[in-house]
A and B are shown apart, each in its own frame.
Chain A
């Protein structure tokens, strides 16, 4: 059929001799089989990290924020670094499913489900930090505009911290709904194949009775499109508003108009790196080699190079402005000659090496098409982006306007424990997801089988079509 024509120069996105039924089988396999030894080992490691983190959280809440490494000068440090890092990671998923849907990029279909799962799980981790930082997390509901016992004392809608509450909760709930709407037909597929009664029951509940009627698919496609249209500005707004937490303050190094676009680019950069990290493992463990191909890796690496370039330009302009202003305070901002040679030189150079220098290797085609090197570079970017936030927060605060209060920062074991705990929580959620959810949006992937699979491209070649 000429309907399914795609230029032969485009590389196949589904490898092997696949039929619709093969896609069903491959996606249902992890749900229907028992977990392997590797999965259990990973799960137990993640679970023990989570338990350790929960212990540290209880210790913090029971004793007070004083158990952290914060001090009066550096009053935001490890916790907000982790908050921004996790929110940033939570940007790739919705970007892949929303922006790439609007641009009709077919390669999103093999990775959007897992990337969105990652987004949701990362935002859960991010949300933990401000709540713990409140010190009295049971009073967290005070941020909501609800009539209360203080004579209608309302939250301050002028404050970027309250904007953050609205941005992150909207982002979390809308992303979850977007994800779940797409999951309904795939849950129905697992329901219809399930043989064990308990499994059948669970997937019957989750699939909402989906039957795939023509009208329902029409509405499905329409709401996917509208949700993508709504999520695209949403995804940009979230990290913009996170950057307002800093940019609307009067702290040197934070009070910067470049922050919103630079934060958004950084978030996409780090989010895609985390997608590469997770898919690098999932591809092998779940045997999805035919669906997550070199071409997918390459496309993602191109996004990483572009957003990494934007971030690098932002770094350079911050550095030059700090130097050119001649202001002594500017020499202590996180991008300045003073930062590169001062007490936090190691954090400065960790950022430059991981975020600016190493990703440049992706300009070379063999590197960006290599699963191994993509994985290695993605780990470096994850580390680099963590240091970026650390530098912005700790470096700028440590040398404030009053030299007598200048000080350093060292995390306490509780700081580190909570961070390890959120990593554990993230992987616990991701590992559970990988065994119980359809990890590829199989229904939508089937729509491109005839245009973009290796088998059908070969068939078209043989028939000499076009």
Chain B
């Protein structure tokens, strides 16, 4: 049984504007772009690729709420419940009466949780961790080259000519290691 192997075609561009034009021309021909590797965030790329908006900021809000809750619970438990004390003439009657003194703690823990948990989520979602294998197929894409990755199980000639026409300066073909 012979299974059609997936071939990977890399088109390398040396300018961000040419890349954007290239993406448009490829998409007009109905070619699906598998991935883009670029050295810096190119303005307008999200729209050109039709990327969905990221939800990470909404998640950060939720993490922040968690921090607020945590700080509220912490200050209530330690100051009002577990061992209430009269410190400096400020008796610990009820949390809401002591609350003004807890605002700084609540604020800091909110920021702390929102920032750190958001960054951890970001690293996990992007599969970034210490000493991970570089994700980019060509080392020049962190310098000044822009790479479009296409995949096909059919003949690659079509893709190559389209990439060439769209302004790619260099094209390489690889077989997907299975």
Contacts and interface: CB of A to CB of B under 8 A. Distances in A.
A178 B39 contact: no
A205 B130 contact: yes
B93 interface: no
Given A188-B134, A207-B134, A214-B35, A154 B82 contact: yes
A234 interface: yes
Interface stretch (B3-11, B102-110, B153-161, B164-172): B102-110
A222 B115 contact: no
Given A145-B78, A184-B128, A3 B44 contact: yes
B37 interface: yes
Given A157-B75, A188-B142, A212-B37, 18 more contacts: A154-B79, A157-B105, A166-B104, A184-B128, A192-B140, A192-B142, A208-B123, A208-B129, A210-B134, A212-B38, A214-B35, A214-B36, A217-B41, A226-B118, A233-B107, A233-B111, A446-B144, A447-B42
B163 interface: no
Interface in B135-162: 135-137, 139-144
A223 interface: yes
Contacts of A178: 115
A221 interface: yes
A447 B40 contact: yes
Contacts of B17: 1, 3, 450
B118 to A, nearest CB: 6
Interface of A: 1, 3, 19-21, 24, 145, 152-160, 162-163, 166-167, 170, 173-174, 177-178, 181, 184-185, 188-189, 191-193, 204-223, 225-227, 230-231, 233-234, 237, 241, 244, 443-444, 446-447, 450
B41 A223 contact: no
A212 B57 CA distance: 20
Contacts of B112: 170, 173-174
Nearest to A448: B40
A157 B114 CA distance: 21
Contacts of A185: 39-40, 142
Contacts of A189: 39, 142-143
A-B pairs, 10 with minimum CB distance: A211-B135, A209-B132, A20-B144, A192-B139, A211-B136, A154-B78, A208-B128, A163-B104, A214-B36, A217-B41
10 contacts: A153-B83, A157-B101, A158-B90, A167-B104, A177-B119, A192-B141, A211-B134, A211-B136, A214-B46, A237-B107
Contacts of B131: 204-205, 209
Contacts of B122: 181, 219-220, 223
A227 B105 CA distance: 19
Nearest to A223: B122
B173 interface: no
A170 B108 contact: yes
Nearest to A180: B119
Nearest to A244: B104
B130 A21 contact: no
Contacts, number: 207
B51 A218 contact: yes
Given A1-B17, A204-B134, A209-B135, A230 B115 contact: yes
A209 B128 contact: yes
Contact of B143 (A24, A153, A209): A24
A221 B123 CA distance: 13
A230 B57 CA distance: 11
Nearest to B115: A174
A136 B88 CA distance: 25
Given A154-B82, A157-B75, A163-B105, A192 B136 contact: yes
Contacts of B40: 185, 212, 217, 443-444, 446-447
A136 to B, nearest CB: 22
Contacts of B44: 3
B132 A21 contact: no
A32 B78 CA distance: 53
Nearest to A178: B115
Nearest to B127: A209
